[in-house]
Chains A and B, each alone.
Chain A
Amino acid sequence: MGEEIIIAIIKLLIFFFAMFTAAAYTTLAERKIMSYMQLRKGPNRAGPWGFLQPLADGIKFIFKEEIVPAHTDNKLFILGPLLMIAVSLMPWVAIPFGDKITIFGREVYMQLVDINTGALFMISISSLGVYGIILGGWASNNKFSLMGAVRASAQMISYELPLGLSLAAIFILSGTIGTRDIILKQIESPWQWNIFVQPLGFIIFFTSMLAETNRTPFDLAECDSELLAGYHTEYGGFKFSLFLFGEYINIITASAFMAVLYLGGWSIPFVNLHDLGLSDNLIGIISVFVVLAKTAFFVFVFIWVRWTLPRFRYDQLMDLGWKMLLPLSIVNLMITAAVVLFV
């Protein structure tokens, strides 16, 4: 039992460090990619290629004065960003970021906990993310923030449905709701990857994920041109950076979801590492990098979409959610169920 706890703590520490670094560098990646798309150069003063920019940003955020506006509800005001970041980290409990390695004769799974209802857990936690936003917006005691928060919650609820339904199709296909098991079902060949088995489901899932993470074209919660910055208008300094981090961690989380659920986790197309005569531990480590690469790819797509598409109007957003994605995902679910049942 003691060893279990130590392993868990080590995994947690590595994970926290990795996660915050990753989120920080996602901000840099976002700014770099955006500037190249807009024919600019982006941050390039802090270190080569702006490599130290996240560090500089972090220092700036920490040393800024902590302002709590007088008209806000103080406790909730501080709880908002904390909740946001806590909730954005939690789904990672169930996301496998690699196969397994053997250390000192123990099999260590590259996953914080292998819950056998992993996918459900991830999805339910990630939908809690809206509480941080609602609290932030409500406690700010400001019309625009509240409007942003209300929009965010309406949007998240509407897109939760297609998200869940397209996920249900995967559950039916793979006959399990454990994340690791879902990967093991896709591991054989890339044609078993759910993105090819469930292309429609993937598009629905991806769109809903964009909406869940409040990214453009669905960033109605922030919506600078109408709502200043929506729910985080009143936040500055470190508290704002928590919101920001939460948002970027959410993006990474969403990308990891898709890498795991739709791109077959750590399976490499047409290569079977066990045939190459590599040791199991090496394979385990390689598997982590494969998952990372797939996650990074989706992070790139998130950024790419953001700097390509304009924002939806609010009614268009609702139309898209309820009138297109929801029926489509139901159809997708029914077809999948029928195929599984009759074929």
Chain B
Amino acid sequence: MINVREKYLGSNDKMSFMDRIYLPAIFKGMFVTLKHMLFSKSVTTQYPEEKRVIAPRYRGRHVLKRDEQGRERCTACYCCAFICPASCIRIVAEEVTPEIQHNHPGEKYAKVFEIDLFRCIYCGFCQEACPKAAIFLEDIYELAVDSRDKFIIGKDVLVDKKGGPRKIRV
């Protein structure tokens, strides 16, 4: 017969006298904490002044990219909106008229492109799905704002300010 106590709870029975009086182990532990206190360097990052180096594949807030000529890449194909598991992307597409062709190479463009940052789970599916390499989750992580509405961000915030070669992140 298996002695249940011995098998599962038996550690107390096997304690030696030194274990039972606790003190040696206690002193050992106290020595460790004292060593930490006196000799170890703290690992704190003093946040607003110092910032952590974040990983190259970090997924922060989205950015809508521009192409080499500074035109918006997004063609309002809805791929990102479809794949989004949190359904937090809202796009209103519109036909590109000649007047705005300098800014939009395709036939369609996103008139409204909104992301609800409260619902977004930062999974990065949208950037995987985008056929135009237009949406990327960049290293922006300071997202605090002072009212709830501001967490639904539109094109004014999302679109990259400058154009230039597309930055592909691995």
Contacts and interface: CB of A to CB of B under 8 A. Distances in A.
A327 to B, nearest CB: 13
A36 B42 CA distance: 7
Contacts of B21: 324
Interface residues of A, number: 15
A309 B29 contact: yes
Given A39-B40, A39-B41, A309-B26, A304 B46 contact: no
A39 B29 contact: no
B interface, size bucket: 10 to 19
Interface string B20-32: 0101001001101
B87 interface: no
B53 interface: no
B42 A304 contact: no
A116 interface: no
Contacts of A39: 36, 40-44
Contact of A307 (B23, B26, B33): B33
Interface in A300-322: 304-305, 307-309
A35 interface: yes
A106 interface: no
Contacts of A203: 23
A199 to B, nearest CB: 11
A41 interface: yes
B145 interface: no
B30 A308 contact: yes
A33 interface: yes
Interface in A34-52: 35-41
B44 to A, nearest CB: 4
Nearest to B27: A308
Contact of B44 (A37, A41, A324): A41
A304 B34 contact: yes
A46 to B, nearest CB: 14
A37 B33 contact: yes
Nearest to A35: B42
Contact of A41 (B30, B32, B36, B46): B46
A228 B9 CA distance: 27
Contacts of B32: 308
Contacts of B46: 41
Nearest to A301: B30
A307 B37 CA distance: 11
Contacts of B42: 35-36, 39-41
Contacts of A41: 42, 44, 46
A304 B36 contact: no
21 contacts: A35-B42, A36-B36, A36-B37, A36-B42, A37-B33, A37-B34, A37-B36, A39-B36, A39-B41, A39-B42, A39-B43, A39-B44, A40-B44, A41-B44, A41-B46, A304-B30, A304-B33, A308-B29, A308-B30, A308-B32, A309-B29
Interface of B: 21, 23, 26, 29-30, 32-34, 36-37, 40-44, 46
